[in-house]
């Protein structure tokens, strides 16, 4: 069970409507209350506290184009984290990069910024973003579009290309799309077999982004690795050699995994510059309900009571 960060917010009241006011909750105080309550029967078998850290920023050797700077400022981003800067600099050097940092550390900017920077100077440049699920692609598309909308003078067509995409939209993305978000299955079945129709896009393909690359393992990972190799061969047919940008949560062997999936040499960026707050993890085991200690209380009931305690003691 993840109790939470050092302090976090919960809605100040639960009335079935919108909650505008928010109240801070102290995780340490709540944990102390939980362990001293009359209903506590030793369920917390282990408590792990992970300390927080301050943000580590850095500056690019050459600043980003002004439209991108303006877009970032509109989102109250004044400086980039060190891992974002390192990734952008490596991509500017023509390297393939794997970004391996924690969740919510700003990995999407690691690829969106250099991709958009290239497209500002080369309107014919194209990028292919590959996600393991359609839902994730839709979510990332919204973030990309917000970034583009905040950049004055940057106009490009982006969209998801998957099984839910209408035929007319598919044709428009194929012919005029600058950034296409898809998944391995659609790349395998809907793009590569029809590569002659995709010739202009593939000939100008500068970047291939593979997000959540840690999900490509086992037989599925082997299949995706072969699809990526087919993509590289087709790109070579049309005279392009795209750079690869792989993103992942923290894993033990990111360089090896990304190299096996893409077939190219990879520079790993794994120093996380994003800030993190103190977190408390509680390993919670429901208590026994019989004297013979053979049956434990329902984990659903335990979870429901814990949620009630969170609400009562927010």
Reported pTM: 0.82
- Measured CA to CA, the distance from residue 112 to residue 183 in angstroms comes to 18
Do residues 4 and 310 touch, judged by C-beta distance below 8 A? no
Residues of the chain predicted below pLDDT 50:
7-21
| pLDDT score for 24 | 65
The structural domains of the chain, ordered by start, are: 2-52+277-312 (no CATH), 63-269 (3.40.50.300)
Tokens of 146: 């917000």
Q: Are 33 and 79 in contact (CB under 8 A)?
A: no
pLDDT in tens, 141-192: 999 999 999 999 999 999 999 999 999 999 999 999 999 999 999 999 999 9
Q: What is the CA radius of gyration of the chain?
A: 24
**Strand 97-100, strand 243-248: pairing:** parallel
Q: How far is CA 5 from CA 52, 102, 281, in A?
A: 9, 15, 9
Nearest Cα to 207, choosing from 181, 237, 174?
181
In terms of DSSP H, where are the helices of the chain?
27-36, 66-74, 82-92, 107-121, 134-149, 167-176, 184-186, 199-203, 218-237, 254-262, 299-312
pLDDT, tens digit (0-9, with 9 covering 90-100), for 253-266: 999 999 999 999 99
């Amino acid at each position: 069970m993840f109790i939470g960060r050092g302090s976090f917010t919960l809605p100040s009241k639960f009335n079935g409507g919108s909650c505008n006011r928010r109240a801070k909750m102290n995780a340490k105080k709540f944990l102390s209350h939980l362990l001293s309550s009359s209903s506590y029967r030793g369920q917390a078998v282990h408590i792990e506290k992970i300390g927080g850290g301050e943000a580590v920023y850095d500056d690019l050797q050459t600043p980003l184009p002004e439209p991108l700077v303006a877009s970032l400022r509109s989102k109250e981003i004044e400086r980039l984290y060190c891992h974002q800067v390192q990734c952008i600099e490596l991509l500017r050097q023509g390297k393939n990069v794997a970004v391996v940092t924690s969740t919510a550390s700003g990995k999407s900017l690691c690829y969106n910024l250099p991709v958009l920077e290239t497209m500002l100077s080369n309107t014919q440049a194209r990028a292919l973003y590959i996600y393991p699920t359609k839902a994730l692609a839709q979510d990332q598309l919204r973030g990309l579009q917000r970034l583009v909308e905040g950049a004055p003078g940057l106009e490009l067509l982006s969209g998801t290309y998957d099984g839910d995409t209408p035929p007319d939209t598919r044709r428009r993305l194929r012919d005029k799309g600058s950034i296409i978000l898809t998944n391995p299955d659609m790349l395998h079945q809907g793009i590569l077999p029809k590569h002659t129709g995709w010739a202009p896009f593939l000939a100008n393909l500068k970047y291939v982004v593979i997000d959540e690359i840690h999900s490509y393992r086992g037989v599925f990972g082997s299949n995706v690795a072969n699809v990526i190799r087919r993509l590289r061969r087709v790109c070579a047919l049309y005279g392009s050699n795209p750079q690869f940008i792989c993103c992942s949560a923290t894993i033990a062997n990111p360089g090896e995994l990304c190299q096996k999936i893409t077939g190219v040499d990879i520079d790993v960026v794994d120093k996380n510059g994003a800030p993190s707050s103190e977190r408390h993890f509680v390993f919670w085991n429901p208590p026994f309900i019989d004297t013979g200690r053979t049956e434990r209380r329902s984990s659903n009931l335990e979870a429901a009571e814990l949620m009630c305690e969170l609400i009562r003691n927010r």
